[in-house]
Amino acid sequence: MYEKIIGATEYIKSKLEKTPEIGIILGSGLQPLAEEIKEPIIIDYKDVSNMPFASAPGHIARFVCGEIEGKQVICMQGRLHGYEGHQPEDIVFPVRVMKFLGVKTLVLTNAAGGINTDYSVGDFMMITDHINFTGKSPLTGKNDDRIGPRFHDMTFTYTPSLQEIARKASQKTGIKLHEGVYIGVNGPQFETPAEIRAFRTLGADAVGMSTVFEAIEAAHCSINVLGISMITNMAAGIIMKELSGSEVNETADNRSETFRKLVKAIIAEIS
Ligand code: HPA
Distance separating alpha carbons of residues 31 and 50, to the nearest angstrom:
23
For residue 183 and ligand 1, the question of a CB distance below 6 A is answered with: no
CA distances from 144 to 2, 25, 148, 236 (A): 8, 24, 7, 40
Question: What is the crossing angle of helices 245-269 and 160-173, to 10°?
Answer: 100
Q: Which residues pair with 72 in a beta bridge?
A: 67
For residue 111 and ligand 1, the question of a CB distance below 6 A is answered with: yes
pLDDT band at 177 (very low <50, low <70, confident <90, very high): very high
Considering only CA atoms, which residue is closest to atom 6 of ligand 1?
113
Q: Which residues pair with 177 in a beta bridge?
A: 124
Average pLDDT, rounded, for the chain: 94
Could you tell me if 196 and 238 are in contact, meaning their C-beta atoms sit under 8 angstroms apart? yes
Of 27-31, 96-100, 111-115, the range with the lowest mean pLDDT is 27-31
Distance separating alpha carbons of residues 232 and 239, to the nearest angstrom:
13
Q: Which amino acid is at 234?
A: M
For residue 196 and ligand 1, the question of a CB distance below 6 A is answered with: no
> Does the pLDDT of residue 128 top 80, yes or no?
yes
Residue 138 has a pLDDT of 98
Residue 249's SS3 state is helix
Could you tell me if 136 and 88 are in contact, meaning their C-beta atoms sit under 8 angstroms apart? yes
pLDDT 10s digits, 141-167 = 999 999 999 999 999 999 999 999 999
Considering only CA atoms, which residue is closest to atom 3 of ligand 1?
208
Rounded to 5°, the CA angle 208-74-19 comes to: 145
For residue 191 and ligand 1, the question of a CB distance below 6 A is answered with: yes
Residue 59 has a pLDDT of 64
Supply the Cα-derived Rg of the chain in whole angstroms: 17
Residue 240 has a pLDDT of 86
Tell me, what DSSP letter sits at residue 3?
H
Distance separating alpha carbons of residues 182 and 206, to the nearest angstrom:
5
Q: Calculate the CA dihedral of residues 3, 75, 62, 157 and round it to 10 degrees.
A: 50
CA distances from 1 to 50, 117, 187, 228 (A): 10, 43, 27, 29
Q: Phi, psi (5° rounding) for residue 73?
A: -125, 155
For residue 233 and ligand 1, the question of a CB distance below 6 A is answered with: yes
Q: Is 204 left (phi over 0), alpha (psi -120 to 50) or beta?
A: beta
> Does the pLDDT of residue 73 top 90, yes or no?
yes
Distance separating alpha carbons of residues 20 and 71, to the nearest angstrom:
8
Residue 29 has a pLDDT of 67
Atom from ligand 1 closest to the CA of residue 114? 7
